Homo-oligomer: A and B are copies of this chain.
Amino acid sequence: MKILITGGAGFIGSHLTDRLLAEGHSVVVYDNLSLGRLDNIEEAQKNPNFSFIEGDILDKEKFFAVFENNKFDIVFHMAANSDIARSHANPDVDFDNTLRTTYNTLLAMKEFGVKKIVFASTSAIYGETLEKVAETYGPLFPASHYGASKLASEAYISSFCENYGIQAWITRFPNVVGERSTHGVIRDFIKKLKKTPERLEVLGNGMQYKPYLYVKDLVEAILYVWKNTNDKINFYNLGVDSRTRVKEIAQMVIEEMGLNAKIEYTGGDRGWVGDVPEFNYNLDKIHKLGWEAKNTSNEAVRKAIRYILEIDKCNL
């Protein structure tokens, strides 16, 4: 198959790139390298079935030309802003980089007759709730602009499916950690401890409690859903049943760095505006389909810590 991966040089996109190339597909990555890195596709570049185009999806002319020059069977649309906290100060970050990139991707698919899309959605569409949310949960009132832009993207994917005979696989990610991640709580803690090894300031009260999914488990899940479902719109929560508290992450980071730092909590039940203090997925639907994560939430966090400390230390 000929596959376009938008954001394919990014954290999750580049893992997808590697996996789809390994399966023998022909892969074109379109990425503006705002969050993506050429390092992430170093291996892919050696594969004759791979090509990389540096470009922005908002540069419609350039992006449409890629569709004109390639007959794609499917688009994996992974390009997005992924730093949820960032758009509190500037909502345009998500409106442009998350929603408008999706909308332009759909317009290009309509224009050039591409009929399949796999989409990286998020638990953030569900907003703040103590319920163990299943895929049919409502009402949908996201707390962050990131969640809003992803829900808006889902809405447009749905109307494009109905209007132009497109088929979609919407996979809703929880917090994802592991190799090639660009930011997040683990990286923040390591950075802080490099500066002040004797103490660690934690935003909030440390009780935030969420599932962290290992990135390689996530990529397996995306491909599993894509290969094993065939409705017009297929939509699944992807996750792991266990969860990790922020204070546990702090302790694991300190331990893995061999430090004896004192943890100081700033207080309050959330780390930043738009954060939700607790989140829990109902994963019955994906389990019934036959997939489960191999790593627990704590295992995923520990792998992510070790990767940053051992391999990715230059990018800190």
Contact = CB atoms under 8 A, between A and B. Distances in A.
A112 interface: no
Given A99-B152, A152-B99, A233-B141, A159 B136 contact: no
Contacts of A91: 103, 106-107, 110, 156, 159-160, 163
Interface stretch (A143-151, A177-185, A215-223): A143-151
Contact of A136 (B138, B142, B233, B235): B138
A160 B95 CA distance: 12
B152 A156 contact: yes
Interface residues of A, number: 40
B140 A140 contact: yes
A2 interface: no
A139 interface: yes
B159 A155 contact: no
A135 interface: yes
A273 interface: yes
Contacts of A137: 138
B162 A155 contact: no
A158 interface: yes
A158 B136 contact: no
A312 B110 CA distance: 39
Contacts of A163: 88, 91, 143-145, 273-274
Interface string A210-247: 00000000000000000000000101000000000000
